Amino acid sequence: MKFFFNLKTITKNIFIFCLFYILSVVVLQNKLIAQEKLYQEPYRPQYHFSPKANWTNDPNGLVYVKGVYHLFYQYNPFGNVWGHMTWGHATSKDLLHWDHQPIAIPEEKDTMIFSGTCVYDQINSSGLGTKEKPPMVAIYTGHIKDVNQSQHVAFSIDEGKTWTKYNKNPILDLGKKDFRDPKVFWYAPKKYWVMCVNLPLEHQVQFYASTNLLNWKFLSDFGPKGDTTGVWECPDLVQIPVLNSTNKKWVLQVSMSEKMQYFMGEFNGVNFILDSNQKTILRPNAGPDYYAGITYGQLPANHLPTTIAWANNWRYAGNIPTSPWKGAMTLPRNLWAENNNGVWHLIQRPITNLNSLRKKLAYQKIATEAKDETISLESIGINADVYECNFELSSASKEKVGISVLNDKFRGVEIGYEPSLKQVFINRTKTNSFSEKEFADIRYFTAPINTATDKIKFKVFVDNSIIEVFVNDGESVFTVQAFPVHSDKNIKILNTTTQGSVKNLQIYLLQSIW
């Protein structure tokens, strides 16, 4: 009986082991299947950065180190909603193809990791590394809900692979609940680091200086100026080239609630001096889904200033119909300054190596031949809303002209020119299956355009749920989200009565970065 009992027990254990093994294999297979399906979900951008899963918002700590572009970003490692703010991390060699890295700086106890900067401290001014292993230093806002926001430091001596929080945090604390989003850069003429950081409720940017990234001295403040209808966040101060010139200008950008604005001027290492001719509010983006844009730090001398923003809007960001991720980044853009009738403006263009994603020229036409012509994407070998579309419109047109993307018989996102207003526009009124009221209320967007030239040039990037439009080589820019039904796979020419109004139409199939 004893032998039989042991045999019975052994048989039972073998059965349990086999069952456990089978279940483990099934779970592993399901995980592998789930991984295989990532970046194939409905609405998932194919050439805009998004994390594998979960919530993301502001880009953080954009820095170039030894040939690698680092992208840190606000991230919730526990879910697809805002919360538990942590720094996610990705790296790239070309600003297009990204490798996901382990979480950089995690939330700890009651302190979330809000937005900030990363710098490569090559001379080890902070003493947080060594001469042989200079540290990467992240300066970020530590957020304790309803209690305090102050500036903290974390550092890495293995080029961003692992991070250690500074043991004497915070490094800058005004005892305020709202004091956030430090941008830090090296100001060579005075041989010190400069921090610009927001007092959100006061609508001010404060400037501080430090020789070691740890001890900071107040320099000056800027504001209130321009748009003060929302709290100021995510300041970014950078010197940019003047278009077609060897001169340079300084641009200060801030974000507020659901928009951004910028100020053109000069910076002397202590004060930002606004150009006296800037009388109106200037926006870097005419669309609704562009926020917290910041520029890369420590780029090579011959590298153009480059910025990335969050392609979303706080009014509805938590409710967009995407899963298992929520939130993506804009395409990287290069920046210039241009003087137009005595007022300086930003010029923004997509980075040129985006052209490397062109898989083929799927369609080309010198001029459209029929009113309301429709181009089926599937008929030209494009089976998803992942493409680039370039075309020209005449500024002498008497009627509204343009194209409609994500289009079928009744829906579409219209992009074009309204001659009666002398404005370019984008209209997502008719496209979305997403019924969120806050989203539906923000649907028609315009920007003034220089009509002195005969042609208005459009470069349109469609990436499933994100549309980015660059007009006249970056004179105006729109970033817009749209969530179409899956049958919306056409481009329609908006020729109401005029034949040939859309010219030099090119459609490129773009390949996924994943």
Dihedral of the alpha carbons of 373, 376, 377, 379, in degrees to the nearest 10: -130
Structure tokens at 23: 């279940």
Residues with Cβ < 8 Å from 283, sequence gap 6 or more? 259, 260, 261, 262
Residues with Cβ < 8 Å from 322, sequence gap 6 or more? 41, 43, 44, 465
- DSSP code, position 11: H
Of 266, 323, 287, give the one whose Cα is nearest residue 41: 323
Helix H or strand E segment including 35: helix 2-37
Compute the chain's Rg from CA coordinates.
Answer: 25
Q: What angle do CA 416, 418, 422 make, to 5 degrees?
A: 120
Cα separations (Å) of 13 from 7, 9, 28, 449? 10, 6, 22, 76
Cα separations (Å) of 162 from 102, 157, 360, 425? 8, 8, 40, 45
Nearest-angstrom CA–CA distance, 54 and 74: 11
Nearest-angstrom CA–CA distance, 115 and 181: 5
Instruction: Assess contact for 105 and 95: CB atoms under 8 A.
Output: no
SS3 of residue 322 by DSSP: coil
- Look up 58 and say whether it is catalytic: yes
Residues with Cβ < 8 Å from 317, sequence gap 6 or more? 57, 82, 326, 327
Task: Order the strands of the 401-407 sheet from edge to edge.
Answer: 374-376, 490-493, 401-407, 413-418, 423-427, 444-448
Q: Which entry of 58, 121, 289, 463 is annotated as an active-site residue?
A: 58
> Max Cα separation, the chain?
102
SS3 of residue 362 by DSSP: strand
Catalytic machinery residues? 58
